[in-house]
Chains A and B, each alone.
Chain A
Amino acid sequence: MQNAISGLGLAPDAAMVTFPIGLFLPGSDIAPVEARKREFYDGLTRWTPSVAGGAGGASRVIAVPGATFEDALVNANHAMLANQWGDGLPLWPPTRVRVDWILQGTPRPRAHALGTFPPRGGVATVETCAIALAMAGGRPEYLPVLVAAVEAFLDPESGSEQLQAASGSAFPVVIVNGPIGRQIRLNSGFGCLGPDPQHPAGASIGRALRLLQQNVGGARPGVGTMANYGGLRYTNVVFAEDEDNLPAGWPSHGTERHGFAPGQSSISLVFANGATNIRRRGAKKETPAEDALQGMHRMADFMRVPNLAGLAGYERGAPGILMIPGVVAQTMTGLGWTKRSMREFLWEHSRIPAEQLRRAGGYAWIEIDASQVARESAALDPWPITASPDNFVLIVAGGGHPTNSYWLQGYSPGVVGREIRVPEGFGRLLAEAERDLGG
């Protein structure tokens, strides 16, 4: 709650009367409200904030001693955890040398403010991004992607103001298009959502974004974020679309959803809160057409669940991100499928019969949704999980193997795109990466 208060530009404190969660559950004994009524009365009459205001100016510098460098490194990691700035994994201390090195990756001044991170309201600057990227083991050539992702994250259209603190365990998914993906070693193929020493960029960028969410935005579990589970939050999800394997006639995601010119490096940010593998390929003597159709049904069936995650972006967000390997996209294109026809199939076949929605209590959630379009959708039977087929994010990515596809369950009021801006001399940074990491 203090995060939310400071996020409004007030001193980070509030007159609050807090109770254990049991009081807020159906059928609870609410007698404690009367027992503690004086605290409510004092909140209206006598309360004063215990914090006068926040610190201003440049980032504060911490000094940590040690008998040796290794000792100081250990102590620095301890200090970062003690201050609740870490994520439990080892961190690079964001020294001035390391932060200045990373700042070579942007054409913008280090003090340039990108906005305030909800709910706490900490100011995100280019320097703050570089600090987070330094902690996360990043490199300068990753910074343009992180800065673009932060800009998109802070766009009100993304929904981050609510999702940062909400219980639904939302995590940002950053989809990268354009040449920068290959240039900075972002994964678009085998294992693109996981660790990969050949493609280390996604983990560092996503981890840095998460550290910003936590440290600048105040989203600490159980305090600033009430996410029940918080899955995929160590590194969020950052990957590139496999543009080399897009079928002929398929626009890239950045071009199709955001209108970026082909070849423009860009990011697209979507919130998700679930991830699952879907076995897509047939197992016996299916014809190619049968194999494709069965796979489409299996994917649509998986989306047809009444847990209402997609309500968050019903009108113009995304019910989820469907990832299919390039080999599958190319095969299906050869069979006459198009990106549009796949979306329309998924939209039609993921609709939920009213009876299933009713027995799961789904209508109560639809009726209280902020979107009029979503509320009016309650009249539709079967109920479409999103307002339009266009809302499905369909991405070509993943290893060149036809068996599986992947569904990132959407929880995203909007899908926000940003162009990526690189500094002059970016080629030198890429050459240095090749020197450091191998060709």
Chain B
Amino acid sequence: MIWPALILLFMFILAPAIEIFRASIFDPEFTTEHINRIFGRDIYLTILWRTIKVSLVVSVLCAVIAYPVAYFIVKRPRQQQFAFLFLIFVPMWMNILIRTYAWMVVLGREGIINSTMIALGLIDESIQMLFTSGAVYVSMIQILLPIQIVTCYSAMTEIDFDLVRAARILGASPAQALRRVFLPLSLDGTITGMIIVFMLSMGFFITPALVGGPTDLMLANLIEMQVEQLNWGFAATIAILLFTSTLLFVLVIRSLSKMLTKFLGGGNL
């Protein structure tokens, strides 16, 4: 009974992935043309580096911002937790296009922030907020934050709060108990969330195109532009670059986080 699912995933995930690899080096004869093109001009590596940088910043900021939020929810009585979670779920379920559109409305030249500030007399002329890197960060974090909060929260629900209480009884201050007991135990969920957010932002497409400027384009936008120009082989090569660099950085994040866990778990008070 598993066969229909396997056949479907083979046809629409595995075979297409293989096709991407094939298209990047056979066109139709074996060629390294596309790979040379990527390394031949700075622009492609610049966009690759920007994509990685944006994704790293977004995932770290999401982790830091989400942690207290998840902690706040998990400390509520059980029956109340769903009501608080619901406030996180509603934006999470919303279409990314719509959420990006919302930011265009908020940050635009005649948007809410600008018109409010002009009405209050704080500024005389609209500030350029839309089509900047700042707009990309603000919207991407807003879009990905709920995922981090929910991942972090569900990891925290597994933690036995008696351990924190035990630390307190044994003489730890609240801050010490939090740092020495709760933080190491909740770190795994935070890292998992960070990796998910990182992987998702590496493939981001809609938000950089709509709220960013021309210098905010990411790898996914580059792929789309190449597809529009019917350069499938080159698009495939960029897609592989996207895939391998994502994988590489996930491995880096994981090994760094293992070192961090060791550091927090061991050592002195």
The judgment on whether A and B are partners is no
* Interface residue ranges, A against B (CB under 8 Å): none
